[in-house]
A = this chain, B = another copy of it.
Amino acid sequence: MNLILLDDDDFFDDNRVRISGRRFDHITTLLGKGKGDGLRIGQVNGLMGQGVIDSVDSAALTLKVHLNESPPASLPVTLILALPRPKMLRRILRTISSIGVKSCYLINSYRVDKSYWGSPLLASPQLHEQLLLGLEQGCDTILPHIHLCPRFRPFVEDELPIFSSSTANLVAHPGGGTPFPPQPQVPVCLAIGPEGGFIPYEIDQLGAAGFAPVHLGRRILSVETAVSVLLSRYIG
């Protein structure tokens, strides 16, 4: 937790908040902070700044907050990701949130196990929790939007053209296409397949939608590694 994130509900007047639970434990036990100490804070979907601990009791503390700083720039990437298995998805959600992705479409693909779509992790509160953990890690306040697209063809034919008409469009495809450029064009819509990759039909459909296949050389990376490695080229 590199940033203490505040909800609207935490505010009891314009510049004071009351915090309990996980954040309280982190601040008092892990960071060992007490009355008068400063903290780096941010308001969800708002500004960042400093908080000073005003009072501490056994289960909650109050902070006087001063919010005057913009969150870091977003990554100019819309991520399109074949739904990974839940355990990996949990980590990927935190990663993309920490790294600055603001829009991610989780889509179906031939090699996505149908059971993944029934995972409790896809419920809004669970997605929200992982994304918050990512923002706390990355020191950002702006929540990413996660879109669930459980049907491949309607997604590619109907939804994709709407948001990919004025972006560079790439699909990661080990063993096909051209090398992924070290300093690629932005903004980009970047599609990453499941373990085992998109099938040829899906690559063809994405190709028809303007997505050029790119690869990272002879190696095949796990989806989780590929996400970090590919997004990395869009940082800074």
Taking a contact as CB atoms under 8 Å apart, the answer to whether A228 and B217 are in contact is: no
At the interface, yes or no: A15 with Cβ under 8 Å from chain B?
no
List the one stretch of A120-128, A134-142, A160-168 in contact with chain B. Answer: A134-142
Query: Is A188 on the interface with B (CB-CB < 8 A)?
Result: no
**A119 beta carbon closer than 8 Å to chain B:** no
Which residue from B182, B221, B230 sits with its C-beta under 8 Å from A99?
B221
**Main SS of the interface on chain A?**
loop
* Residue A232 is within 8 A (CB to CB) of chain B in the complex: yes
A207 within 8 A of B: no
Q: Is A151 at the interface (CB under 8 A from chain B)?
A: no
Known: A182-B182, A229-B235. A218 touches B139 (CB 8 A): yes
* A residues 159-194 in Cβ contact with B at 8 Å: 179-180, 182-183
Is A114 an interface residue when CB atoms closer than 8 A count as contact? no
Given A72-B217, A182-B182, the answer on whether A95 and B232 have CB atoms closer than 8 Å is: no
